[in-house]
Amino acid sequence: MIILILIGIVPSVIAATVVVRGYVDRAVSLRSINVKNQCDILCNTLVTEKYVSNTNNDVINSELALLSNIYSGRIVIVDSDYKVVKDTYDLDTGKTSVSRDIISCANGNGGTTLYDSDNNYIQIVVPIQDPDTKVIEGVMLASVSTNEIDQNVRILENEGLLVIIIISLLVFIIGYFLAGILVKPFRTVTRAIEDVTDGYEEERISVPDYTETEQITDAFNKMLTRVKTVDNSRNEFVSNVSHELKTPMTSMKVLADSLNSQENVPVEVYREFMQDLSAEIDRENKIIQDLLSMVRMDRKASTLEIAKVDIGAMLEQTIKRLQPIAAKRNIELLLDSNSTVTAEVDEIKLSLAFSNLIENAIKYNLDGGWVRVTLKADHKFFYVSVSDSGIGIPEDEQEHIFERFYRVDKSHSTEIEGTGLGLAITRRAVLLHRGSIKVTSKLKEGTTFAVRIPLAHQSVGGGQ
């Protein structure tokens, strides 16, 4: 609305100012030309009648008085000695006038015209010069009033102000109704956003009235889709957590009830039940630890404890810790690293990420298989790949493997221990380091996870 008013008023003010200024310049110019022409005619008469030497010429005095009255001004005649011989106001007659303009004109530098807007008068100085001999006999100084022009200017300004007020009112009225029409689509968008805030998020919105509203609604619909996806993911996450936590508890409850329902339980059976209970407790603890790790990974990158770490030594220590698990199935663990790589990372989080990758490579491998960990680096990044000779991942499921609680082979999920959080934790740890992780796999041929992380810690930016 304010912009519309300014668009209407500013040009009007500029136009009014230009018109008034143009009128003043034109009126002053015409007045100056007319007075100067009259003065030139009188000067010729003054030369002819020798008026400067004898001012008792009633005809010329009448003409001077008439010209003075017509233009509400004053005429002064100065001789060559700068003595005032005639003053239509009878104020300076007999006095000497040595103003700069009169002296300049008497010395043959031509006449001058001056407009004084502050005092509202035009001053014209012309030489009284013999046209034949070119001798300057004196100077005529005419001061004429411009009060009439000033009054006309005030009238124009008042009329201009009135026009501006009328235009402003019209612009305001038109702008008010036009703004209502223009803003209506945006109000529709606003109501839709408010509906989402209130919990109504089932329908997409479409307001194609303007390009801007169409872009806003497109962005809004994308955001709404994202919100729904996140909400569905949250619900699924809660459901999975409940299921994963409930399963060991159910097993422990069954085992405990079985013991309670039996009398005189043999020591061997009691010990077997206790071992099963201990295994279920360990499973529950593993789930809780993974959930805590996931929560910690969800925090901002500022929680990273950055230090310079020997990546090769860290991987070697991780492999050494997992070696007993691989040895049970005769799986060979190999580390391929030809140089020392030092990077600024959070050793605990990154060690957990690589431990999950290597442990998964062991779990989903074949007996007697192999797991190869490769470390390389350039001037900016270091690269770690974890390859195995395992069962592989179906192509249509590879995009889901980093989701929380997602298990590729659900039919064997009870056979292979795990919570389904390992890869989600790994991906989050890599992203916290502004790195990237990719997977390539073929069924029954094996899987390779490729990780790229900057050597120097980046607090902002980075790739994913």
Please give the average per-residue pLDDT across 300-314, as a whole number.
81
The answer to whether residues 393 and 309 belong to one domain is: yes
Q: CB–CB of 35/142 below 8 Å?
A: yes
Judged against a pLDDT cut of 60, whether residue 201 lies above it is answered with no
Domain match, 310 and 441 both: yes
What is the model's pLDDT at position 37? 92
**166 falls within a domain:** no
- For residue 199, is pLDDT > 70? no
The answer to the question of residue 191 being in a domain is no
Per the prediction, the chain carries an average pLDDT of: 82
Q: 313 with 242, same domain?
A: no
- Domain around 238: 211-295
Question: Same domain, yes or no, for 258 and 127?
Answer: no
Q: Tens digits of per-residue pLDDT, 317-332?
A: 999 989 988 999 999 9
Same domain, 290 and 309: no
Least confident of 114-118, 207-211, 254-258, 375-379: 207-211
Same domain, yes or no, for 285 and 307?
no
CA distances from 424 to 309, 353, 367, 420 (A): 23, 9, 26, 8
**Residue 204 lies inside a defined structural domain of this protein:** no
Helix (H) or strand (E) holding 448: strand 446-454
Number of domains in the chain: 3
Same domain (yes/no): 46, 6: yes
* Mean pLDDT, rounded, for 140-165: 88
Give the Cβ contact number of residue 25 at 10 Å.
11
pLDDT at 331: 93
- The residues with which 37 forms a beta bridge, in sequence order, are none
Q: How do residues 73-99 score in pLDDT, each as one tens digit?
A: 899 999 988 999 999 998 888 898 888
Residues 219 and 274 in one domain: yes
pLDDT of 402 reads: 80
| Same domain, residue pair 307 and 449 | yes
Write down which residue in 244, 276, 295 finishes a domain: 295
Q: What CATH number is attached to the domain comprising 76?
A: 3.30.450.20
Domain end, chosen from 295, 311, 346, is at 295
Residues 219 and 207 sit within 8 Å (Cβ to Cβ): no
Query: Does residue 289 sit within a domain?
Result: yes
CATH number at residue 289: 1.10.287.130
For the ranges 149-163, 284-298, 435-449, the maximum mean pLDDT occurs at: 435-449
Identify the residue with better confidence: 395 or 313. Answer: 313
Residue 162 lies in a domain: no
What value does the mean pLDDT take over residues 152-167? 86
409-463 pLDDT, tens digit per residue, is 544 444 445 556 778 888 888 988 899 999 999 888 899 999 999 999 876 544 4
Q: What is the mean pLDDT of residues 21-26?
A: 90
Quote the CA–CA distance of 145 and 119 in Å, as a whole number. Answer: 9
Chain-centroid distance of CA 259 in Å reads 68
* Under 8 Å between Cβ of 416 and 390: no
Distance CA 45, CA 126 (A): 13
Return the pLDDT at 161. Answer: 85
Say whether pLDDT at 378 is over 90: yes
**According to the model, what pLDDT value does residue 179 have?**
72
Nearby residues of 437 by Cβ (< 8 Å), 6 or more positions away:
402, 426, 427, 430, 449, 450, 451, 452
When comparing pLDDT for 263 and 75, which is higher? 75
Task: Considering only residues 109 and 460, tell me which one the structure prediction assigns the higher pLDDT.
Answer: 109
CA–CA gap between residue 449 and residue 426 (Å, rounded): 11
Q: Extract the tokens encoding 250.
A: 């159910």
Task: Judge if 311 and 432 occupy the same domain.
Answer: yes
CA-based radius of gyration for the chain: 51
Query: Minimum mean pLDDT among 17-26, 352-361, 379-388, 405-414: which range?
Result: 405-414
pLDDT of residue 78: 92
CATH number at residue 360: 3.30.565.10
Q: How confident is the model at residue 302 (pLDDT cuts 50, 70, 90)?
A: very low
182 within some domain: no
Question: Are residues 260 and 378 located together in one domain of the fold?
Answer: no
pLDDT for the residue 186? 74
**Dist. CA 386–CA 319, nearest whole Å:** 11
Is residue 367 situated within a structural domain? Answer: yes
**Which pLDDT score, from 0 to 100, does residue 420 have?**
64
Average pLDDT over residues 102-109: 89
- Looking at the domain assignment, is residue 193 inside a domain? no
pLDDT value at position 464? 37
- Contact between 45 and 63 under an 8 Å Cβ cutoff? The reply is yes
Where is the domain boundary, 295, 315, 334?
A: 295
Q: Looking at the structure, do residues 437 and 359 belong to the same domain, yes or no?
A: yes
Residue 245, classed as helix, strand or coil, is helix
Tokens for 302? 């500022």
Rounded Cα distance, 109 and 345, in Å: 90
- Predicted confidence at residue 338, as pLDDT, reads 78
Q: How far is CA 111 from CA 44, 102, 127, 130, in A?
A: 15, 9, 6, 15
Q: What is the pLDDT of residue 198?
A: 59
For 204-261, write each residue's pLDDT tens digit.
Answer: 666 666 677 777 778 877 777 777 776 776 676 666 666 666 666 777 787 788 777 7
